[in-house]
Amino acid sequence: MGAYQKRTKLFFDRDSLKFLWSYARAYRINLILAFITSLILAAMGGVLAWMLNKLVKDLSISMTLETVLFWAFIALLLMLIKGILTVVNRYIMTRIHISIAHDMRVNLFEKVIQSPISFHNASKTGHLSNSLLNDVKFASAGVIELFLALWQIPATLLFLTVTMFYFNPLIASTVCILFPFLSIFVSRISRLSRKAEFHYMESQARLQGFIVEALINIRQIKYLTMLRNQVNELNKKGKSMIDARMRATLLNAIAAPISDLLSTTSICVMVILAYNQLQNGSTTPEDIAGCLAAGVGLMKPLKSMSNSMIMMQQSFAAIKRILRLHSFCIDVNKNPVELPEKIETIKFEGVNFTFDGRHNIFKDLNIAFKTGEIVGIAGKSGSGKTTLLNLLTGFYPCSAGKILIQGIDLNELNMEEWFSKIGIVSQDAQLFDDTILNNILHGNANATPEEIEHAIRCSGCEEMIKRFPSGNQTVVGESGCFLSGGEKKRVAIARALIRPLAVLILDEATSELDMKTERAILSDILKMKNNLIVIIISHRPEIFQYCHHVLIFENGNVNLMSPENAQVLVKAKN
Ligand SMILES: Nc1ncnc2c1ncn2[C@@H]1O[C@H](COP(=O)(O)OP(=O)(O)OP(=O)(O)O)[C@@H](O)[C@H]1O
Ligand SMILES: [Mg+2]
């Protein structure tokens, strides 16, 4: 994933605002409630200043216990109302925040898992999980920071400024001169901060990507004695993340003391002016009390404003990463063509395919598969056998030409419908960390007991399940790590056979089995062949005796052969 390239010109990033609004608008009612509660809270700042003014005035006229108790009661009442409103406001805002984070995550997750395998091949699992967890968390916080920076804090500032002007226009206008300085400073720092936050998030994603990959490959790391090397690499990546975090933190931290300095300066200026005016009798103590209370009250929202601006940049940086991920994900076809009930032919017409744009795996490939046929595929390692299956399933898009399923272009089809008709047992069959039965049912959750039994029998799982004390309730471990390679393959075959199949693809599916089990499974599959297109990839020549014909892959060319000739050829090449 590329580096941060575009210069951040605008303080409020337009794309980020649009993105946030697309999620926030679903919570309009909550937002309106938050608007109302924060408006009342903002107005209360002015009320407190006005109250102080009244208290000083009343006390200067009659210093009685009654007056003091009356104002103490009013103050307590106001504090109680303020406390209740603050809790309600925070509750609503937190609900909006976590709901938006949830919606963003679901949406991004859906987009990521719908994307073609080519996208997943090009993306690191750790980077994707980092975006789904961290970027979404920071991005959604932007709604809260925008709410604070554009509404709650400005409303508070407005009420307090108006109060100040009401009591003492000269002091109020002097303090207001400081506002532009503060905003110029904050906007400069924020822009730098957004860039620093973006770099930090990138380094965090790299670190997570590295950790996830290391954990996935833990066996290889141990066996290849790469432990020290991995720890050193983690150390290096962690240090670069620390550097990036420190740069961002430094920029964020500078904002607080500078805004404190400006605030203290303005309080000092207010006190000097107040002293002067009281000396020459141009104001009264109660107006000074009201004006100073409002003026000092301004300092907290001013500081919160600079804090919010900085946090908002963190959100914009995270949104930039999410939007980039969205642009890499490929949209699913919104108006797909319905898959025909019966699939009897699959045709490759002039198909070209290349991974890198230079070297063609296939060039002008024209082949056809028909129901009732068992087609073998042979060819040396790396000749493109698995790639052909990835094209046929739609995992990879063709570089040119088309694949027609019962005459319909594969790109036009509803992919979910198409996948539901395919059973694949791939070279590296992976299982979920669940029971054997549930793994089989992943193929078809609505399978009847007869269909389950049939799939278990035909895949050779029966004997294995009988051997395990917990039978089909045996848990297989992460990626099926509690099972042997051959056992995993058998469960994967059962999972494929239980589907309402039109096409069955076995990619080295039986290579880890003993000859007897392999023969039993293949002859059972043969019995089902009339309603299926069966494609068997293998390096073992004996397998091709079960096929009607065999495709031999060589240097980007595909030649059709009889099973007998294919066996001779593959034996000779082995
Ligand atoms: N995701 C990928 N990105 C780039 N190149 C790839 C990718 N997957 C496979 N290749 C390359 O494409 C070629 C065909 O790979 P493929 O997996 O189809 O071979 P295969 O015939 O199935 O080999 P094997 O018999 O070893 O399974 C290989 O040269 C491989 O290096
Ligand atoms: Mg392969």
Contacts 24+ apart (CB under 8 A), 101-109: 101/136, 101/137, 101/139, 101/140, 101/141, 103/23, 103/26, 104/23, 104/136, 104/139, 104/140, 104/322, 105/132, 105/133, 105/136, 108/132, 108/136, 108/322, 108/325, 108/326
The predicted pLDDT at position 2 comes to 40
Instruction: Name the strand (E) or helix (H) holding 557.
Output: strand 557-561
* CA 426 to ligand 1 center in whole angstroms: 13
From the list 176, 168, 157, the residue with the least C-alpha distance to 266 is: 176
Say what the pLDDT of residue 307 is: 84
**How far is residue 184's CA from residue 255's CA, in Å, rounded to a whole number?**
11
Q: What is the pLDDT of residue 331?
A: 67
CA distances from 544 to 422, 528, 567, 568 (A): 21, 17, 7, 10
Q: Are strands 400-405 and 549-554 parallel, antiparallel or unpaired?
A: unpaired
CB 498 within 8 A of CB 452: yes
Predicted pLDDT of residue 323: 93
User: Looking at the CA of 360, which ligand is closest?
Assistant: 1
Of ligand 1's atoms, which has the minimum distance to the CA of residue 539?
25
d(CA 64, CA 78): 22
- CA–CA gap between residue 163 and residue 43 (Å, rounded): 10
388 Cα: distance to centroid of ligand 2 (angstroms): 9
Q: What is the pLDDT of residue 11?
A: 62
Q: Whose CA is nearest to atom 8 of ligand 1?
A: 387
**Structure tokens that stand for 242 in this block:** 């620390």
Residue 256, amino acid: A
Furthest C-alpha separation in the chain: 117
The amino acid present at 531, given as its one-letter code, is N
Give the distance (Å) from ligand 1 centre to CA of residue 428.
13
pLDDT above 70 covers a percentage of the chain that reads 97
Report whether 332 contacts 127 (CB < 8 A): no
H or E segment to which residue 223 belongs = helix 218-223
Cβ atoms of residues 8 and 191 within 8 Å: yes
| Closest C-alpha residue for ligand 1 atom 16 | 384
Does 53 contact ligand 1 (Cβ within 6 A)? Answer: no
pLDDT averages per 10-residue partition of the chain, 574 residues: 45 85 95 94 88 84 80 89 94 95 95 85 89 95 92 92 92 84 80 89 92 87 85 94 92 82 85 91 89 88 85 91 86 80 92 89 92 92 92 91 94 89 88 94 93 93 93 92 91 93 90 84 80 90 89 86 82 73
The gap from C-alpha 460 to its chain's centroid, in whole angstroms, comes to 39
Q: Which of 118, 361, 425, 540 to mutate to test the pocket of ligand 1 (most atoms within 8 A of CB)?
A: 361
Task: Please tell me the distance from the alpha carbon of residue 296 to that of residue 512, in angstroms, as a whole number.
Answer: 78
List the residue whose alpha carbon is closest to atom 30 of ligand 1: 382
CA angle, 183 then 186 then 191, to 5° = 125
Q: Is the CB of 384 under 6 A from ligand 1?
A: yes
Q: Which atom number of ligand 1 is nearest to the Cα of residue 390?
A: 18
**DSSP output for 270-304:** HHHHHHHHHHTTSS-HHHHHHHHHHHHHHHHHHHH
Which residue, by CA, sits nearest to atom 25 of ligand 1? 381
User: Residue 203: CB within 6 Å of ligand 1?
Assistant: no
Q: What residues have a C-beta under 5 A from ligand 2, the ion?
A: 386
Tokens for 24, please give them. 């926030």
Sheet of 533-537: strand order equals 422-425, 503-507, 533-537, 374-379, 549-554, 557-561
Indicate whether residue 538 lines ligand 1 (CB < 6 A). no
Ligand approaching nearest to the C-alpha of 382: 1
Residue 489: the pLDDT is 92
* Cβ of 383 below 6 Å from ligand 1: yes
Structural domains of the chain, with CATH: 14-328 (1.20.1560.10), 345-573 (3.40.50.300)
